[in-house]
Structure 1
C-alpha cells in the first residue's frame, strides 16, 4: 500500500486526548483511519510495592519501548497488521486486551513523546498539539487516576509535581510552536469537541484530496 497520511497528536496529561481522539476518529469511515498509541509501549515497571510504584517515573522517554513503537509504525506503513497487548498502567483490576491495529490510508500516531522522538516526528505529515489550562488538566488527571487507575490522591499529586509537569515542559512544550495546529481544550462538552474535530477532519480530508490520496 502507499504510505499513509500520518497525523501526530500530542498533548499534555489531562488535555483530553482520549475524548478528542474518539470524536476525531468518528468523522472517518472505519477502514479510512487507524490509531497507534505510545501509551501501549510502556516498558513494564515491575514494581512490587506501593511506594516503588509511586516513585517510578512513567513520564520519561526511556519509559517507552521506543524501538518497538517505531517498528510497529513502520509495519503499518508496509501494510502489515500490528497486534499489541494494551497497557493497563499496573491496574490489577483491568484485564489487558489484545489490540489489532490494521493499516489504513490515514494513520494517527498519538503520545507525549512523538515530537521528541526524531525518527517518529519525521514520519508525520500533520502535527496537532493538544493542550489545556493547568487547573483543568490536573482536575482531569485526578479524576482519571483515582477512578480508573487505582491511585490515591497523594500519589497523583506527587507524580503531577515531580513527573508530569517537568516532562511536559521538557519533552512537549518546546515543540508547540512548530506544530501545524494548537488546540486549547478546556471543555468537556461533547458538542463543542465534536464541532472542533469536525473542522479539523475536514481540513485533513481537503489535504488528502489536494494530494490525490
Structure 2
C-alpha cells in the first residue's frame, strides 16, 4: 500500500449487536478494500484449566488478552504487512483452529472490548465507533446466544454476566463512550436501522478513501 490505512476502532457491550453491525459494514467493501483484526483472536490460552475452572475464569479483563501481540499485529497491518494468526476457538477442544491470514487494506477495522482502554492501541485509531444497548436487552441477547448457539447453562451465563461482563464493561469500555466519534444505540432488533447506519458510514468512507 502506498499510504497508511484509515483505522476505525469498533467496540460495544456484549449484546449490543456488534457482530451484526460488523457483518453489515464489511459487506459494503471488497476484500482488498477492508481488513478486520479482532481482539477475540488474542486471548491468552486457558486450555490448561479444568472445565470447572474455565466456568469461573474471567475472560473479561485486560489481563486475559495478549496485549503486546495484538498491538504488534495492528502495527504490522498499518505498516502494510500481512499478519498470520491462529483463530481463537473459545477453548473448545473439538474445534481445530484455522490459521488466519490478515492482509493489509486501505481501511483497517480494529474490534474488541479493550481497544479504547489499551492506550497504545487507542492512539492508532483515526475514528471510534461505540455500540450500546440497555442492560436488560443486552442480557436477553447474551442468553439467547449462549444458551442456543454455545450450549451453556443459564446459571453459568448469568453468573458471568453479573460478575465478569458488567463490571468489565463499566470499568474498561463505558468510560470511553463520550470520546467516540459515533455512538449507536441499538435497543431494537431492527436490521433495517443497522443496514441504514452502515450504508451511511460506508458511503462517507468511500468518498474519503477511494
| Superposition deviation, residue 204 in structure 1 | 2.3
1:97 equivalent to 2:72? Answer no
Larger displacement relative to structure 2 (83-92 or 162-171): 83-92
Q: Which residue of 2 aligns with 1:172?
A: 173
Question: How do residues 56-67 of structure 1 correspond to structure 2 at under 5 angstroms?
Answer: 56-67=57-68
Superposition CA RMSD, Å: 1.4
Q: Output the CA distance in 1 between the equivalents of 2:158 and 2:47.
A: 22
Q: Which residue of 1 aligns with 2:146?
A: 145
1:6 equivalent to 2:7? Answer yes
Asked if the contact 2:106–2:209 (Cα under 8 Å) also holds between the matched residues in 1, the reply is no
Q: Which residue of 2 aligns with 1:71?
A: 72
Tell me how many residue pairs correspond in the alignment: 209
1:49 equivalent to 2:47? Answer no
Asked if the contact 1:85–1:97 (Cα under 8 Å) also holds between the matched residues in 2, the reply is yes
Report Cα offsets for 1:112-171 as digits up to 9, x if no partner.
000000010000001000111111211111122223333211111000000000000000
Question: How do residues 171-210 of structure 1 correspond to structure 2 at under 5 angstroms?
Answer: 171-208=172-209
Q: Output the CA distance in 1 between the equivalents of 2:101 and 2:118.
A: 24
Q: Output the CA distance in 2 between the equivalents of 1:93 and 1:132.
A: 32
* SS state at 2:76 partner: helix
| Superposition deviation, residue 110 in structure 1 | 0.2
Q: Output the CA distance in 1 between the equivalents of 2:94 and 2:19.
A: 20
* SS state at 1:45 partner: coil
Q: Which residue of 2 aligns with 1:15?
A: 16
| Superposition deviation, residue 208 in structure 1 | 3.2
TM-score (norm 2): 0.94
Q: Output the CA distance in 2 between the equivalents of 1:139 and 1:106.
A: 33
TM-score (norm 1): 0.93
Q: Output the CA distance in 2 between the equivalents of 1:120 and 1:58.
A: 19
Q: Output the CA distance in 1 between the equivalents of 2:146 and 2:134.
A: 18
* Uncovered stretches (5+) of structure 2, i.e. residues with no partner: none
| Superposition deviation, residue 70 in structure 1 | 0.5
Larger displacement relative to structure 2 (84-93 or 10-19): 84-93
Runs of 4+ in 1 over 6 A off after TM superposition: none
Q: Output the CA distance in 1 between the equivalents of 2:93 and 2:191.
A: 30
Q: Output the CA distance in 2 between the equivalents of 1:139 and 1:198.
A: 27
Q: Which residue of 1 aligns with 2:35?
A: 34
Larger displacement relative to structure 2 (97-106 or 167-176): 97-106
